[in-house]
């Protein structure tokens, strides 16, 4: 079966199935189709499937033009019928892996997808889990399901893990040119998964086991979480010492070795950094080990929205204004610049905390005209001189390139800048308060 599947991959007669057509699955499906494979994308959302089959992409990193071309050429098909996956020679699982409120892993999506695979599995099938999860998931969840069907993994079916490394909105690195880590249950599993991904990805990095591959992703994002936590704490330290944290960071970044630049902000968001380290922490708790760095970084990062709100309150107080009744304009609600993704965005916490103190909060985001939260729809405001002049405080949470920061400086009276975005504007009217001013009334560090 290994040789047959390798030959089908080599001559592009293999069909690739993708379970989950979101930020991970759809870009992978497009790369596989553009690489010459017939791709069957499965998703439970009829709305998503209908839109994709009409050639309309719901993912910023996948153009509707590219998608529509693949649909018309018959290289990509989206469906809600799981039975269509029985035609696949390889199935990639790319479903969400959120946390429950107790920060324990919610494995329901992975288990559901695994059950789907078990209903369509056949000899000569490669199954690859891409969803970020705790070490041991592939071996503990998917392997028993395949073995229960009577398959011998590594001989008549093949199982591997390959962590997704999607960075939405990245103008340089995307699915094709981001190295792909692959680890199989057996060497044969690794070989076949490597062959498949090597057909469509520029570089594939094999590792010895599925557990090693699972840990790679967790290490990558734990590294980022811990370092963001460190630099966020440094912002607080600089604030108490009366030092400009941005000046310190930029000066430190001139060292050509031994230092990697991270910048502080209002918290962390997205589908990876706020969640992934907790998968590792949860797994280690089952082994009676406490991941202290992970827990401390999470504590610091989760406190940053409240720190930003405290800065707003201090700045308004210097203007002899209370938070209660003040109009606050939030700039940017996406979790990072230049995308339309709000998952785990710290802006939601900043808005909620300000409203709890009685502020009248509105927002502007050039990528998100409106959003739904707790059953209510929030609609953004246009960024106009009048809107800026009416605001008692403008709070920059996400520093999108499309925002006219000079306009903010010209028409706002008070700006709380959590991203150092105002460094790109010439001083005119506004008083700018950064994360690390000596106090809320201190002169801004921008010129």
One DSSP character per residue, 122-159 reads: -TTEEEEE-S---TTHIIIIIHHHHHHTT--BTTTEEE
Q: What is the DSSP letter of 364?
A: E
Q: What is the pLDDT of residue 168?
A: 87
Would 2-213 and 221-447 be classified into the same CATH topology?
Answer: yes
Q: What is the pLDDT of residue 445?
A: 41
Q: What is the pLDDT of residue 424?
A: 81
Q: What is the pLDDT of residue 270?
A: 86
The SS3 of residue 226 is: helix
Indicate the angle between helix axes 46-53 and 64-72, nearest 10 degrees: 80
The SS3 of residue 240 is: helix
Q: What is the pLDDT of residue 446?
A: 39
* Cα distance between residue 391 and residue 394, in whole Å: 6
| Nearest residue to 380 via CA among 366, 392, 394 | 366
The SS3 of residue 360 is: strand
Question: For the chain, how many helices (H) and strands (E)?
Answer: 15, 15
Catalytic residue from among 32, 189, 238, 272: 272
Q: What is the largest CA-CA distance in the chain?
A: 76
| CATH label, 221-447, candidates 1.10.238.10, 3.40.50.2300, 3.10.150.10, 3.40.50.720 | 3.40.50.720
| CATH label, 2-213, candidates 3.40.50.720, 3.40.50.1220, 3.10.20.30, 3.20.20.80 | 3.40.50.720
Overall residue count recorded for the chain in this entry:
447
Give me the phi and psi of 189, to 5 degrees please.
Answer: -65, -45
| Nearest residue to 411 via CA among 395, 382, 391 | 391
Q: What is the pLDDT of residue 442?
A: 40
Indicate the angle between helix axes 210-241 and 292-318, nearest 10 degrees: 30
| Nearest residue to 378 via CA among 388, 367, 368, 387 | 368
Q: Which residues pair with 79 in a beta bridge?
A: 42
- Per the annotation, the verdict on 238 as an active-site residue is no
Structural domain boundaries in the chain: 2-213, 221-447
How much is the pTM? Answer: 0.90
Per-residue pLDDT of the chain (447 residues; tens, 9 = 90+): 999 999 999 999 999 999 999 999 999 999 999 999 999 999 999 999 999 999 999 998 999 999 999 999 999 999 999 999 999 999 999 999 988 877 788 999 999 999 999 999 999 999 999 999 999 999 999 999 999 999 999 999 999 999 999 898 899 999 999 999 999 999 999 999 999 999 999 999 999 999 999 999 999 999 999 999 999 999 999 999 999 999 999 999 999 999 999 999 999 998 788 889 999 999 999 999 999 999 999 999 999 999 999 999 999 999 999 999 999 999 999 999 999 999 999 999 999 999 999 999 999 999 999 999 888 899 999 999 999 999 999 999 999 999 999 999 999 999 999 999 998 888 777 899 998 864 433 433 433
| Nearest residue to 44 via CA among 11, 13, 18 | 18
Q: What is the pLDDT of residue 447?
A: 32
Structural contact between residues 79 and 49, judged by C-beta atoms closer than 8 angstroms: yes
Indicate the angle between helix axes 2-10 and 187-198, nearest 10 degrees: 10
């Amino acid at each position: 079966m290994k040789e047959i599947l390798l030959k089908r991959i080599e001559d592009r007669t293999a069909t690739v199935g993708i379970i989950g057509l979101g930020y991970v699955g759809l870009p992978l499906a497009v790369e596989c189709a553009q690489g010459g494979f017939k791709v069957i994308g499965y998703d439970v959302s009829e709305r998503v499937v209908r839109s994709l089959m009409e050639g309309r992409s719901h993912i910023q990193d996948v153009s509707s033009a590219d998608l529509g071309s693949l649909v018309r050429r018959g290289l990509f098909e989206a469906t809600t019928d799981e039975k269509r996956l029985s035609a696949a020679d390889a199935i990639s699982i790319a479903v969400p892996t959120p946390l429950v409120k107790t920060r324990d892993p919610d494995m329901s999506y992975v288990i559901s997808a695994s059950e789907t695979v078990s209903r369509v599995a056949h000899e000569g099938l490669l199954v690859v889990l891409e969803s970020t999860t705790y070490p041991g998931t592939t071996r503990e969840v998917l392997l028993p399901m395949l073995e229960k069907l009577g398959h011998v993994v590594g001989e008549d079916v093949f199982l591997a893990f390959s962590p997704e490394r999607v960075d939405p909105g990245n103008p340089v690195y995307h699915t094709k040119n981001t190295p792909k880590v692959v680890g199989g249950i057996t060497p044969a599993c690794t070989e076949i998964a490597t062959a498949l991904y090597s057909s469509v990805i520029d570089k594939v990095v094999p590792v010895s086991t599925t557990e090693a591959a699972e840990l790679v992703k967790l290490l990558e994002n734990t590294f980022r979480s811990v370092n963001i936590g460190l630099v966020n704490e440094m912002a607080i330290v600089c604030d108490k010492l009366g030092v400009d944290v941005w000046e310190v960071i930029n000066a430190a970044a001139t060292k050509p070795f031994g230092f990697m630049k991270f910048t502080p902000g209002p918290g962390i968001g997205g589908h990876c950094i706020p969640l992934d380290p907790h998968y590792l922490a949860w797994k280690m708790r089952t082994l009676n080990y406490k991941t202290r760095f992970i827990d401390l970084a999470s504590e610091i990062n989760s406190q940053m929205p409240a720190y930003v709100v405290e800065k707003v309150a201090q700045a308004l107080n210097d203007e002899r204004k209370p938070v209660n009744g003040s109009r606050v304009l939030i700039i940017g609600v996406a979790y990072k610049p230049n995308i339309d993704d709000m998952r785990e965005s710290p802006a939601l916490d900043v808005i909620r905390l300000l409203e709890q103190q009685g502020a009248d909060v509105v927002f502007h985001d050039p990528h998100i005209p409106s959003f739904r939260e707790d059953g209510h729809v929030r609609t953004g405001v246009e960024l106009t001189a009048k809107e800026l002049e009416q605001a008692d405080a403008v709070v920059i949470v996400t520093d999108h390139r499309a925002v006219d920061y000079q306009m903010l400086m010209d028409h706002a009276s008070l700006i709380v800048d959590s991203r150092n975005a105002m460094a790109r504007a010439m001083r005119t009217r506004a008083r700018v308060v950064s994360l690390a001013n000596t106090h809320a009334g201190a002169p801004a560090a921008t010129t």
